[in-house]
Amino acid sequence: MTTAEVIRLVLLFAHLIGHAAIIGSYILQMHWKRGFDFRPLVVGSVVAVLTGCALIAVREMTGLEVDRLKMVVKLGVATAVFALSVVGLVRSRRLAREQADDAGLKPLLLAAGLLAMADIAVALGWQ
């Protein structure tokens, strides 16, 4: 196994962990009425986006095929997950400072979780 292959596999592992943080947090919190924690979604989405870009770079450098349209779609979905997560985190912190109810943030959590699952579906289903 070459060094590039080891790097690719480590990046793939980290990429999956990033998605697991997003989806796991979504599954844990989807039945909650309030008190949402967007930090795992933000961290997971940052990890997923950065490792996804690094995976593309490693594949390009090693001469492996890259489906550019698929990668653009995945990056767009991952960026949307990141944006929803950051908006949810900022709003939840503001609401906590104001001691206000954060029940209205649930749609952000649901959208981020479902989009992360859609990103995985694109990765697995797009051949």
Domains and CATH numbers, the chain: 3-125 (1.20.120)
Q: What is the pTM of this model?
A: 0.92
Instruction: For residue range 47-105, list pLDDT tens digits in order.
Output: 999 999 999 999 999 999 999 999 999 999 999 999 999 999 999 999 999 999 999 99
pLDDT score of 13 more than 90: yes
CA–CA separation, 84 and 30 (whole Å) = 15
Q: For residue 71, what are its two tokens?
A: 């990668």
